Amino acid sequence: MNDSTSAHTDLLKRPLSGFSTPEMRVLQQLLELEKYDYTPDESFLLPKAEKSIFNASEDLPEIDASWYRPLLDSLTTHAREEHTGKHLVLTAAQERVIFLRFNYCRFRVAELLGTLSGRRPTPAKARKILDWHARAMQLRHEIAEVNVALVMAMAKRTRAEDMEFADMLGEGNMALLRAVDKFDVSRGFKFSTYACRAILKAFGRQGMKQTKYRQHNPVHFDPEMERVNPNDLRDQTERSDGSTEVRTIMVQNLARLSPLEREVIHYRFGLDAPRGSRPLTLEQVGSRIGVTKERVRQVQKAAIAKLKWYIEHDSSEGFDNEAVVA
């Protein structure tokens, strides 16, 4: 076991004091990464880089993508049209600021992880790693939210007949997040230019997967054409045969039920009732034949015992009423 693996295992066995379980879980995942990615920039290595990047004069607007969330719930044409265009657009300067902050946070995490060299982090260093990572994830979320309208715009532009709109949004959102992670703001391009290409490529890849799937599975799933489970078929046959047998016993009164017992069974289980109708309750049967609900229950129990005895024994043995009662 190398030093890095040993440190990771040690971290799991002896959690750092003052850290919650979710924090320890995130820290463990970060330590297990072979490389923590970020997009480098020359400004990160300048003196007082943090102060310069986070105290930039360019103000960032409050980011709100609440207009987009109803689409994920309804996905109706009305919802799409209703919210079209109601989204925030960052200027090039604002975009540069937020991407520099995002990648600087990731740069600091990568820098701190690199100083460990497989050793167990101190509580102070672990706290810095988690804080910088949390700031990076928050900025990543904000960048994605301010650009989430690109996903819907590209989905409407593509109009892929083979993909559900909800599937396109999901695939587009994943492509958007990957674009946020890979975008290099120092090249001078707008993020929307880069992200739109990434989203369209994601739709194209998903469309190719759908095409290959249809080539290998040309027939769409049809429940009526699904192969019948032999066990289910046998169960259905047994239930049908059992129902026919009970009906025969009742018609010929082979179990020697009394008139009252036959009447109770007839009403309670609806042997002659139309298909789809509900059998009567104990109270309804009692009201119909003029006895109490408890009396109906007793008569039903005795009748079922006689039917069960007759079914379980060979009819050639003859019916033994005393055996049933016993």
pLDDT of the residue at 269: 77
pLDDT of the residue at 79: 41
Same fold, 3-216 and 230-325: no
Question: Where do runs of H (alpha helix) occur along the chain?
Answer: 3-13, 21-31, 49-54, 69-74, 77-83, 92-114, 123-146, 149-158, 165-182, 191-216, 230-252, 259-269, 282-289, 293-312, 321-325
- Among the four given CATH numbers 1.10.10.10, 3.40.718.10, 3.30.2130.30, 3.40.50.300, the one describing domain 230-325: 1.10.10.10
pLDDT of the residue at 130: 96
- If we measure between CA atoms, which residue out of 136, 133, 146, 137 comes closest to residue 190? 146
Digitized pLDDT (tens) for each residue of the chain, 326 residues in all: 455 555 555 565 677 888 898 999 999 999 988 899 999 999 999 999 999 998 876 667 666 655 555 544 554 444 444 444 445 678 888 899 999 999 999 999 999 999 988 788 999 999 999 999 999 999 999 999 889 889 988 888 876 666 777 888 888 999 999 999 999 999 988 999 999 999 999 988 887 877 776 677 665 555 555 555 655 556 555 555 566 777 777 777 777 888 888 888 888 877 665 665 677 888 888 888 888 888 888 988 888 888 888 877 755 455 555 545 44
pLDDT of the residue at 225: 52
Could you tell me which CATH number the domain at 3-216 has? 1.20.120
pLDDT of the residue at 83: 44
Residue 220 exposure: Cα atoms within 13 Å on the Cβ side:
2
Written as six digits, the tokens of 204 are 């194209």
pLDDT of the residue at 84: 44
pLDDT of the residue at 195: 94
CB–CB of 31/7 below 8 Å?
yes
Would you kindly state where each structural domain of the chain is located, as residue ranges? 3-216, 230-325
pLDDT of the residue at 80: 42
Dihedral sign from CA coordinates of 68, 91, 198, 176: negative
| Number of other CB atoms surrounding residue 201 within 10 Å | 12
